Structure 1
């Protein structure tokens, strides 16, 4: 089977980066472009300005589906990330470019109900407690089991690998049968405290504000849009003061579109004191903090998923 325009494919690396164009990538991006990406090396190799370069659109997790729309002879594919809604860009999902060797054709033999990775970061192995084959797998990744657990390890179908790979069974969770509680989602987001801010990031190695929100709900099978302004459209507005932990704060400058999002971590107290967890551009990391005055000045609403 080969990749073909007009057909779906799946991501075969732990974390793939979605680019604005092949020509936009930089020398520092090399660890994110290989057939087995090294996202920790990519993030650590960037300075603070490179971490917010606008050549990155988003990231995709192992097993995530894309629609291939174009294949270039130089090894790049234009795709639509169908599991990351982006209505203003493409009704099918988030469009961008990936190296073709980070994709695999869909294997009908691996169809089934997936399990979701619940470890913040883990690694797939060739056998129970065996050699590492695919490091850097992150929370929210969904993979189909290839059989029952054995001695505390679970075999999984992994794109690009003919034989099953293995994870500890306690690092996997069943797909939820209903919506998660706000407390459950907030607990996942809190596990990403101090993760580096990376524009377009969507992993436990680097993440941006809307990526944090998308990934926290994705862990429970809720596919929120990828970008903050689309997330506002997809959620339910609340009167300010009615928000509770796990709700969302949205921010915009006068006359501008929504540019930032955070997760409410406390019920507003006296004098409307508010707190949130967010991936902060200014501090270049995920943190939980009271809203400073300059942030409160751009607060335009609270929403609930």
Structure 2
């Protein structure tokens, strides 16, 4: 099947980047634009200013569903990322642009919402042509959902991959069954802690580079909980707590007076007797994921604690 406006498609690369427009991309973004996308090479080529350029909106993982709304002759597709809620932008999901060759069409008559009973639990892994064979799809990240293509064999599992006729293989130990119930907050925190020191990328949503709300979205997505993509929407989708009642795995939200929420972190410790608080977050200033006590300027802009 070919891509068609008004039809669903799925991502066929390990990580696809969602752009504000085709015209917004820069020469440095070339490794993120091809069908053989190389996100680590893209991230390593960005300087500190380019890491926070506002041309990137979000990222999508292998197998993630989109609704195609427009196809351009130059190879770009306008899509809605239906698995990334963004109510203020589009009630259907997060809108933006992708290179069309990073997508493959799906037949809605054959798709079900139970097609992905396996989830990648390795922080980063690769899909192989055969057990112990060459890697043909590197850079697949935690939280990616896959469909088994048969039983495990000698520690390897075959999986169906969008856009490929033959199954690919990955280590069975890198997969877990899709959870049947929502996680405990500490479980999501443990996933986020594995991303310590990952580079801060505005709009990033992977173990190669990530932003503050992307870290929260990905940690819960690993367990099948699809939180909104942006921090202010995440606040609306979670339950407020009285400050002092937060526990590890809860969320801190930050906003300047009279402004909307601009930052989010994950609580990592009970508040101290002196009121000191700690969080894990993708830090814009430090350009990486860190765990730290809230500095004075963060405490001054803390507007609430919430629970998923």
Class of the TM-score when normalised by the shorter of the 2 chains: over 0.9
- Cα distance in 2, alignment partners of residues 18 and 87 from structure 1: 17
Aligned-pair Cα RMSD in Å: 1.0
| Matched residue, 1:96 | 96
Retained in 2: the 8 A contact 1:8–1:67? yes
Quote how far apart the aligned CAs of 1:36 are: 1.2
| Matched residue, 1:142 | 145
| Matched residue, 1:13 | 13
Retained in 2: the 8 A contact 1:110–1:144? no
Quote how far apart the aligned CAs of 1:151 are: 1.1
Quote how far apart the aligned CAs of 1:178 are: 0.5
- Cα distance in 2, alignment partners of residues 106 and 117 from structure 1: 22
| Matched residue, 1:240 | 243
| Matched residue, 1:178 | 181
- Cα distance in 1, alignment partners of residues 273 and 215 from structure 2: 28
**Secondary structure, aligned partner of 2:119:** strand
CA deviation profile, 1:149-168 (whole Å, cap 9, x unmatched): 11111110001110000011
Quote how far apart the aligned CAs of 1:147 are: 0.9
CA deviation profile, 1:238-272 (whole Å, cap 9, x unmatched): 00000000000000000000000000000001121
**Secondary structure, aligned partner of 2:232:** helix
Structure 2 unpaired stretches of 5+: none
- Cα distance in 2, alignment partners of residues 57 and 9 from structure 1: 19
- Cα distance in 1, alignment partners of residues 53 and 226 from structure 2: 25
Quote how far apart the aligned CAs of 1:136 are: 0.5
Retained in 2: the 8 A contact 1:248–1:304? yes
CA deviation profile, 1:162-200 (whole Å, cap 9, x unmatched): 000001111001010111011111110000000000000
TM-score (norm 2): 0.98
Retained in 2: the 8 A contact 1:179–1:222? yes
Q: Which moved more, 1:213-222 or 1:110-119?
A: 110-119
Tell me, yes or no, if structure 1 residue 81 matches structure 2 residue 84. no
Structure 1 consecutive aligned stretches of length 4 or more whose deviation exceeds 4 Å? 107-111
Quote how far apart the aligned CAs of 1:109 are: 6.5
| Matched residue, 2:64 | 64
- Cα distance in 2, alignment partners of residues 13 and 113 from structure 1: 16
**Secondary structure, aligned partner of 2:227:** coil
